[in-house]
Amino acid sequence: MSISSFHPPQRTLMGPGPSDVSDRVLQAMARPTVGHLDPSFIGMMDETKQLLQYVFQTKNELTFAVSAPGSAGMECCFANLIEPGDKVIVCQNGVFGGRMKENVERCGGVAVMVQDDWGKAVDASKLEDALKANPDACIVAFVHAETSTGAQSDAKTLVNLGHQYDCLVIVDAVTSLVGTPLLVDEWGIDAIYSGSQKCLSSSPGLSPVSFSQRAADKIKARTTKVQSWFLDLNLVMGYWSGDGKRAYHHTAPVNCLYGLHEALVIVQEEGLENAWARHHANHLLLRNGLEAMGINFIVAEQDRLPQLNAVTIPEGVNDADVRSRLLTEHDLEIGAGLGALAGNVWRIGLMGHASSQKNVDFCLHSLRAVLG
């Protein structure tokens, strides 16, 4: 057997993630590896924490990057906040609300589901009905930006409702962070998780998370052990705390964290509000071009995510064939539908570094060429 080095093709990534990674981030990841307790690396960790507080718009002390992808960030939030028997109201309007339910049940909690049609935002009145019917619920969980449909829910309203009924609120912001307004402190979000590979445009493999003081107090007051040793915040924060000597917990993905740090520096340089505006402007350009081709969105305009566009596949067009030709003939990746939407929609991402007028034009040109 003789296997040579792997050299990936140069693609334009306009699917649901990962997004294109800039040369600056790739170069940062190629810098010399140092020890995960090296003083220089710990200084970079402190900066990464400050930059994450900026993009989350929070002063939460318990803010850091889980050393695993967004799904582990989800599990970190649920595993630390749920104890056996806890009742959790989960809002589902796509695939990822279903994953929340799985986490609740695996932690020994009881999931009460609030269902909305795929492609629609979470209905606040349905959540309030569930809260009234379940006064013993202690947590509300919902997806801010449902990656499977491109629908964005009103996080501020849903969080306020949860608090009115004395619940902590967990929010999935995997696709929304940096791409659309997200104000953790102003909206009062208690626990939130995201991913490095979406609008941050870093490599996959890290999950930014943040916990309010209220959530931290619940974690400290647990009467049972967190079911995951690796994700137990009582242990992990000894490594990320920055107070005194760092306690060894695990070997951090050093070079991936270099990349996340650089990606966050890029966001800081652009300015968070400017990043939100750029994503929205490029979404409008894509919308106009797609609608001119007779391709329509499945989400009502007021609920659309600018960075994740779920659109109907024209009648008579083969989903897999088009995506395959885009990849082989144009080196362009767009996403397929998930679950109930499989075969019926394409998901076109405009995330982070990939959200540019150049990419919008390229995507529209490539689609026209393939569709004839």
Q: What integer is the mean pLDDT of 126-137?
A: 98
Kindly state the tokens that stand for 239.
């490594």
Give 161: exposed, middle or buried? Use CB within 10 Å, 0-12, 13-18, 19+.
buried
Domain(s) of CATH 3.40.640.10: residues in the chain: 23-267
Give the pLDDT confidence of 284-329 residue by residue, as tens digits: 999 999 999 999 999 999 999 999 999 999 999 999 999 999 999 9
Q: What integer is the mean pLDDT of 42-52?
A: 95
pLDDT of residue 242: 57
Burial letters 356-367, b for 16+ CB under 10 A, else e: eeebbebbbebb
The Cβ of residue 214 has, within 10 Å, a number of other Cβ atoms equal to 13
Query: Which CATH class, in words, describes the domain spanning 12-17+272-371?
Result: alpha beta
The span from the CA of 309 to the CA of 213, in Å, is 35
Domain(s) of CATH 3.90.1150.10: residues in the chain: 12-17+272-371
The span from the CA of 98 to the CA of 58, in Å, is 27
Q: Is the pTM of this model over 0.85?
A: yes
Give the pLDDT confidence of 351-369 residue by residue, as tens digits: 999 999 999 999 999 999 9
Give 339: exposed, middle or buried? Use CB within 10 Å, 0-12, 13-18, 19+.
exposed
pLDDT of residue 73: 97
The span from the CA of 178 to the CA of 194, in Å, is 10
Kindly state the tokens that stand for 301.
């305009």
pLDDT of residue 244: 56
- Please state which of the four CATH numbers 1.10.238.10, 3.40.30.10, 1.20.1050.10, 3.40.640.10 is assigned to the domain occupying 23-267: 3.40.640.10
Host H or E run for residue 237: helix 233-240
Residue type, 98: G
Give the pLDDT confidence of 243-286 residue by residue, as tens digits: 556 788 899 999 999 999 999 999 999 999 999 999 999 999 99
The rounded percent of the chain whose pLDDT value lies above 90 is: 94
Residue type, 367: L
For 318-338, the three-class secondary structure string (H helix, E strand, C coil) is CHHHHHHHHHHHHCEECEECC
Q: Which one, of 109, 105, 106, lies nearest residue 82 by Cα?
A: 109
Q: What integer is the mean pLDDT of 181-207?
A: 98
